[in-house]
Chain A
Amino acid sequence: MADLRIDLAGIKSPNPFWLASAPPTNSGYQVQRAFEAGWGGAVWKTLGEPILNVSSRFAAVSFNGQRVAGFNNIELITDRPLEINLNEILETKKRFPNHAIIASLMVEPQQEKWHEIVKKVEAVGVDGLELNFGCPHGMAERGMGSASGQVPELVEKQTYWVKEVARTPVIVKLTPNITDITMTAEAAVRGGADAVSMINTINSLAGVDLDTWNTVPHVGGKGAHGGYCGPAVKPIALNMVAECARNPLVNVPISGIGGISNWQDAAEFMLMGATGVQVCTAAMHHGFSIVEDMIDGLNNYLDDKGIASVMDLVGQSVQRYSNWGDLDLNYNIVAQINNDVCINCNKCHIACEDTSHQCIDLYTESGRPMLKVREQDCVGCNLCAIVCPVDGAISMIEKKSTIPPMTWNERQSLISNFTR
Chain B
Amino acid sequence: MSDHLLSLDEMKQVDGYLASGFKIHSVHENLSGMFVEFKRQEEDVCLQILTAEARKYLAAKLLEQTQ
CB proximity to A under 8 Å, residues B1-20: 1-4
Chain B residues whose CB sits within 8 angstroms of the CB of A359 once the complex forms: 2
Choose among A358, A374, A414 the residue with the greatest number of B CB atoms under 10 Å from its CB. Answer: A414
Chain B residues whose CB sits within 8 angstroms of the CB of A329 once the complex forms: 56, 59
Q: Which of A377, A403, A415 contacts B27 (CB 8 A)?
A: A415
The number of residue pairs between A and B whose CB atoms lie closer than 8 Å in the complex comes to: 44
B2 touches A420 (CB 8 A): no
B60 touches A420 (CB 8 A): no
Q: Please give the distance in Å from B30's CB to the nearest CB on chain A.
A: 11
A330 touches B56 (CB 8 A): yes
**Is A406 interfacial (CB 8 A cutoff)?**
yes
Q: Please give the distance in Å from B2's CB to the nearest CB on chain A.
A: 5
**Is B22 interfacial (CB 8 A cutoff)?**
no
Chain B residues whose CB sits within 8 angstroms of the CB of A376 once the complex forms: 2, 4
A414 touches B1 (CB 8 A): no
- The chain A residue with its CB closest to the CB of B8 is A376
B2 touches A414 (CB 8 A): no
Q: Please give the distance in Å from B43's CB to the nearest CB on chain A.
A: 17
**Is A418 interfacial (CB 8 A cutoff)?**
yes
Q: Which of B26, B56, B63, B66 contacts A420 (CB 8 A)?
A: B26
**Is B50 interfacial (CB 8 A cutoff)?**
no
B26 touches A406 (CB 8 A): no
Q: Which of B28, B29, B57, B62 contacts A414 (CB 8 A)?
A: B62
A414 touches B63 (CB 8 A): yes
Chain B residues whose CB sits within 8 angstroms of the CB of A420 once the complex forms: 25-26
Bound form: Cα–Cα A330–B57 in Å: 9
- Using A329-B56, A330-B56, A376-B4 as known contacts, say yes or no to A418 and B24 having CB atoms under 8 A apart: yes
Q: Mark B18-52, 1 if CB is under 8 A from A, else 0.
A: 00000011111100000000000000000000000
**Is A419 interfacial (CB 8 A cutoff)?**
yes
Q: Please give the distance in Å from B65's CB to the nearest CB on chain A.
A: 9
- Using A329-B56, A330-B60 as known contacts, say yes or no to A419 and B26 having CB atoms under 8 A apart: yes
- The chain A residue with its CB closest to the CB of B63 is A414
Q: Mark A45-74, 1 if CB is under 8 A from B, else 0.
A: 000000000000000000000000000000
Which 8 interchain pairs have the tightest Cβ spacing? A403-B60, A420-B26, A418-B27, A376-B4, A411-B59, A377-B2, A415-B27, A377-B4
| Interchain Cβ contacts under 8 Å between A and B, 18 examples | A358-B2, A374-B2, A376-B2, A377-B2, A377-B3, A377-B4, A404-B60, A406-B56, A406-B63, A415-B27, A415-B29, A415-B59, A417-B66, A418-B27, A418-B62, A419-B27, A419-B28, A420-B26
